Structures are given as structure tokens and as C-alpha cells.
A = this chain, B = another copy of it.
Amino acid sequence: MKTRLIIATRNAHKVSEISAMLPDFEVCDLSVIQNPPRVEETGESFLDNATLKAQAISALTDDWVIADDSGLEVDSLDGAPGVYSSRYGGEEGNDAKNNAKLMREMAGLSQREARFRCVIVVARGGQVEASFSGAVEGRIAEAPSGAGGFGYDPLFIPEGYDESFAELGEEIKNNLSHRAKALQGAQDWLSKVS
């Protein structure tokens, strides 16, 4: 029987990305939890925020819970947008506004190195059991391109490629992404202990 894993996120894109990468588990979204709390992401790091989400949800169930926090770190912006990636362009969290703000902030900058970073926290019974960080290096394009993916994918060109994550498509992204790397660690660890 497959071990059940609850993904502590309201982001349907993340649930579907994570499900595709964890075929050995029965991956569920938050709908299996009655009245799941809305967890404020008040942490100063991806690890803090993923921990807040994983602890809050895992305190409500006997199942394993994984939470993800991730974002874009741009070197010439001192690591911004970082933990504010999803609300960089305004509190309502709109991909188009976020991408537009990033373009404005980087106008005229020649140093465009950046990385997507993802931290996955695995928790049970309100307790963090393990965490895994993954990063993919790349650069910020001069203009968005591509219709796939979500978030900053149209602006992020991974190292070794000439196209954005949004152009490269789910399969390539899932293989080389920050989330894939962090999830690989979580999967290996869970396979041994769950």
C-alpha cells in the first residue's frame, strides 16, 4: 500500500508538480483536512515558512505532511524577491504583476544571475522530521517568453539552456528544477522511514 502524503499548500500548480514527481506515494491535497487553517508565511527564510505550514497541518492528521516554500533569489537584488516572491508585485500575489516588477527592478542591470530555491519540509504529528533544499542556477531574461509553468517561469532561463522554464515545458522543468532536487531528497528519505 502506498504511504499517504498530504501536501500543505493551496497552490494547485504545486500539488500537480509534486504529485507527478512522487509516483510511489498517495499524494493528497488539503481537501482531506477538515477546515485547514490558513497559515501566514511570516518566516524570514524558505525553511521557516515551510516549517510553519508543515507543522500547522501535520498537527491535524496522523499522515505524513510535506510543505514547500520556494522563490527566486536574484544576486544583483541582494537575494530579492526571496521569501516575498509570490507577493513581490502586491499582496494579492499576481504572476503578471510580480514579473512586471522584476522587469522594472532589473531594467539596465547587466548582472542577471539568479536561482530558484525550494525547501521541502517533511513533518508528522506537528514535528519537523526532515527538510531538503534544492536550487537551480540560471539568469533573468530581458523579457518574458513562453506560456508554460507559473510564477517567474517566463523570465527564468536555467543554466545550460537558452529558453525560459515556461518555454522548456513541464517535463524538462520537473527534471532539473529546484523543486525536483528538494523532492528527490524527501522521496529517498521517506522511502526509508515511512
- Residues of A near any B CB (own CB < 8 A): 45, 47, 51, 119, 127-133, 185, 188-189, 192-193
Sample of 4 further A-B pairs with CB below 8 A, known A45-B128, A130-B130: A127-B133, A188-B188, A188-B189, A188-B192
Q: How far is the CB of A75 from chain B (nearest CB, A)?
A: 13
Residues of B within 8 A of A133 (CB): 127-130
Residues of B within 8 A of A128 (CB): 45, 47, 119, 131, 133
The 3 closest A-B pairs by CB, nearest first: A131-B131, A129-B133, A130-B132
Shortest Cβ distance from A47 into B: residue: B128
CA distance A47 to B55 in the complex (A): 13
Contact status A189-B51, CB under 8 Å: no
A/B interface sample: 10 pairs, CB < 8 A:
A45-B128, A47-B51, A47-B131, A130-B131, A130-B185, A185-B189, A185-B193, A188-B188, A188-B189, A189-B189
Query: Given that A47-B51, A51-B47 are known contacts, is A189 also in contact with B132, CB under 8 Å in the complex?
Result: yes
Residues of B within 8 A of A51 (CB): 47
Q: How far is the CB of A92 from chain B (nearest CB, A)?
A: 30
CA distance A188 to B188 in the complex (A): 9
CA distance A132 to B120 in the complex (A): 12
Shortest Cβ distance from A128 into B: residue: B47
Shortest Cβ distance from A192 into B: residue: B188
Q: How far is the CB of A11 from chain B (nearest CB, A)?
A: 23
CA distance A188 to B185 in the complex (A): 9
Q: How far is the CB of A189 from chain B (nearest CB, A)?
A: 6
Indicate the member of A47, A127, A130, A188 with the most B CB atoms within 10 Å: A130
CA distance A185 to B190 in the complex (A): 10
